[in-house]
Amino acid sequence: MTIPDPVHPAWLPPEAFRAVGSRRTLVLGDGLLVETVHDEVAQACARYGGRVRRGAEDGPYDLVLALITAESLPGAAGAVLAEFRGDAGPAGRVIGAEGYLLARRDGVTVVLAGDSAGLLYGLFHVVRLGERAFAAEREAEHHRPAMRRRMLDHWDNVDVHPVMGQVERGYAGGSIFWRDGAPRGDLARVRAYARLLAACGVNAISVNNVNVHATEARLLTDRLGDVAAIADVLRPYGIRVHLSVSFASPVVLGGPPTADPLDEDVRTWWTGVTERVYETIPDFGGYVVKADSEGQPGPFAYGRDHADGANVLAEALAPHDGVVHWRAFVYNHRQDWRDRTTDRARAAHDHFAPLDGRFRDNVIVQVKHGPIDFQTREPVSPVIAAMPATRLAVELQVTQEYTGQQRHVCYLAPMWSEVLGFRPWGPDGAAVADIAAGTADVADGAEDRHGRAPGDGGGLVGVSNVGDDPYWTGHPLAQANLYAFGRLAWVPWADPAAILDEWIDLTFAPAATGGTEPAATGESERLRRTLHAIMDGSWRTYERYTAPLGVGFMVRPGHHYGPDVDGYEYTPWGTYHFADRDGVGVDRTRATGTGFTGQYPPPWSGTYESLADCPDELLLFFHHVPYGHVLRSGSTVIQHVYDTHFAGAEQVAEARRHWAELAGTGVVDERLHARVLGLFDEQLRCAEEWRDQINAYFFRKSGVPDAQGRRIP
């Protein structure tokens, strides 16, 4: 009989709380999340010998965690707050929603917050710092999230779907919420998940699939109590529950015989249903909708557009401070592969950009970061720059559908950082992170021209990579992607390598868990170096051995794992590479192609249009070129294909060697080491298969041999 691995604590092992749990702590304030702060500290103190008090008791204290609304702040805390506010006193600077101050004054570490969520995030910041939080004096640091909305979408099915399984595009086992058509009886795993999310900054989740099946539709009405039970477990960690709903819900759930958004009976139905939702879950976040996309019903059936469809739900949610996340993933998935004028990349912009200004203010148009579908390399979606009067959320895929399915190491934070730092209007313009945060045209501390405060944009949304696997994410190292998503949603300009350091320190390193002996510190640094060597460049390694130069979609149809160069080439899905004997790539120029480049503002419309200026890594996304075309790197396209695919497989072999060398050292748990080593075996096998299939395909198409004489099958 095989004994299953225990649930891995991820970045919140008990040892991470050693520095807090061994101190004398004062917690001041009221509210559910303040109680959570107290309970977290109390559990740590019970383990490590510290003590925690509530109320204005006499010190001394090593750590003060307080709401600024508390009746009396201890001396050090009061001094920190007074300095922050300045001469203006209570009417001066404000900490802001979910924000906090962190300082160390006169031997006391102080966390001050204006609300209980901020106090919880401040506690987890102290946990990240460990002993460093109690070392030297620290000037007051003001921390607040760049984005108000930091959300994860779960594509979990209540019932096991015959095609999609328990979790659609999930690679870490079954749902942590649902089993056999009902909620899991024991929600302790959900509570542990809530802690992990709060510790990295996530504050909202949807708990069911955007492709809403029959059982999921009923969560809105007669199964609402099941959702409320999950919300009760998440609430103490400041996480609001959202539901994916079908646009056709009125028809499916026994309401009016139509879902026409301009029908008065439909509006009345949504209003009544939504009122009952909030009676059951008062802090309910809102709805997520996938409409007129890949077979899901939508407003097109009634001759309406997406603004009409979104606004009827938004109207019902508005009195309750709810929002509707309306996905912009709308395209023709039944196109004729012979017709090169049809371009899936254009679709979201064609459908949504003309509607800018027509959405209600509590509609968030949720845009995939690229114009196709979470490929390893895509340009940033032009929709993100095309709708200044609309709240936009940028959607990232944490689960690795097209980046190795959590069987391959692929640390995605470097990709996401490139996306968030991209400036659609050139180097002096706003970045994607500014647009998502709602600060693209906001002076510091002011409202924008639509009356929105800084941070009150659509935010960041990630497709969750979590399942009931003991390591949460299937591949233990894929935990880093979930952690990095939360941290980048809070601080989108953070360095991916620094985020990886945080995750390593919390999850693995003895030095961060209280080990101070030289041997422990040395082993910690060895592990850190190994993980950076494996993970820092892993996204680009994956790119090297898969589809080249931004062309994308050379994967097996359906499950999307492993190479199949022509798998989608003659299908209706609109994901083509157009390789022939002379060249490869998709002509998306205005001059001779689909015109997609014209959806970008200058200077990128010109950059992508120009064969000479287009970045190498996106060349085949925008241009069809001969195999002998010389890249800006100096290599030809065909030689680049050969070189990168050989290099990518070699880099995977090297990463595997790095990990294998940790065996028997005691640096990582033996079961975890064995799990990762087995996954590296699969990654290396798959990388070599990618290398051989891609190189053989293009050698046979082009007839051009490898200039280095390497064997191509």
Question: What are the structural domain ranges in the chain?
Answer: 14-143, 150-507, 544-586+624-702
Other beta carbons within 10 angstroms of residue 521's beta carbon come to: 14
Distance CA 587, CA 340 (A): 9
- The answer to whether 125 and 199 are in contact (CB under 8 A) is no
Distance CA 228, CA 283 (A): 10
Distance CA 514, CA 520 (A): 9
Q: What is the pTM of this model?
A: 0.96
Say yes or no to pLDDT of 182 above 80. Answer: yes
Any idea which residue has 């249009």 for tokens?
Answer: 609
Do the bridges between strand 100-105 and strand 138-143 make them parallel or antiparallel, or are there none, so unpaired?
A: antiparallel
Rounded mean pLDDT of the chain? 94
Please give the pLDDT value at position 58.
72
Respond yes or no on whether the N-terminal peptide bond of residue 572 is cis (omega within 30° of 0): no
558-610 pLDDT, tens digit per residue, is: 999 999 999 999 999 999 999 999 999 999 999 999 999 999 999 999 999 99
Q: Which amino acid is at 674?
A: A
* Residues tagged active-site: 294, 373, 401
Question: What value does the mean pLDDT take over residues 317-321?
Answer: 98
Say yes or no to pLDDT of 2 above 70. Answer: no
SS3 582: coil
Any idea which residue has 């699939």 for tokens?
Answer: 209
266-275 pLDDT, tens digit per residue, is: 999 999 999 9
Token digits of residue 155 = 């594509």
Question: What value does the mean pLDDT take over residues 423-440?
Answer: 96
If pLDDT is split at 50, 70 and 90, which confidence band does 91 have? low
Any idea which residue has 């945060």 for tokens?
Answer: 437
Distance CA 429, CA 384 (A): 13
Any idea which residue has 């985020």 for tokens?
Answer: 499
Say yes or no to pLDDT of 214 above 60. Answer: yes
Distance CA 691, CA 685 (A): 10
Please give the pLDDT value at position 164.
84
352-411 pLDDT, tens digit per residue, is: 999 999 999 999 999 999 999 999 999 999 999 999 999 999 999 999 999 999 999 999
222-255 pLDDT, tens digit per residue, is: 999 999 999 999 999 999 999 999 999 999 999 9
Question: What value does the mean pLDDT take over residues 301-325?
Answer: 98
Please give the pLDDT value at position 411.
98
Sign of CA dihedral 42, 44, 48, 53: negative
Question: Radius of gyration over alpha carbons of the chain, in Å?
Answer: 26
Contacts of 599 (CB under 8 A, 6+ apart): 346, 349, 353, 382, 386, 605
The candidate with the shortest Cα–Cα distance to 413, out of 471, 474, 525, 494, is 494
Q: How many residues does the chain have?
A: 713
Helices 496-507 + 413-421 axis angle, to 10: 140
The hierarchical CATH code for the domain 14-143 is: 3.30.379.10
- The answer to whether 630 and 636 are in contact (CB under 8 A) is yes
The candidate with the shortest Cα–Cα distance to 681, out of 409, 400, 455, 328, is 409
Please give the pLDDT value at position 517.
40
Q: Which H or E run contains 167?
A: strand 165-167
Please report, rounded to a whole number, the percentage of residues in the chain having pLDDT higher than 90: 88
If pLDDT is split at 50, 70 and 90, which confidence band does 519 have? very low
Distance CA 403, CA 624 (A): 24
Task: Name the CATH architecture for the domain at 150-507.
Answer: Alpha-Beta Barrel (3.20)
Contacts of 134 (CB under 8 A, 6+ apart): 19, 23, 62, 63, 104, 109
Distance CA 434, CA 419 (A): 11
Multiple choice CATH, 544-586+624-702, 3.40.50.2300, 3.60.15.10, 3.30.70.560, 3.90.1330.10: 3.90.1330.10
If pLDDT is split at 50, 70 and 90, which confidence band does 512 have? very low
Please give the pLDDT value at position 438.
94
93-148 pLDDT, tens digit per residue, is: 899 999 999 999 999 999 999 999 999 999 999 999 999 999 989 999 999 999 99
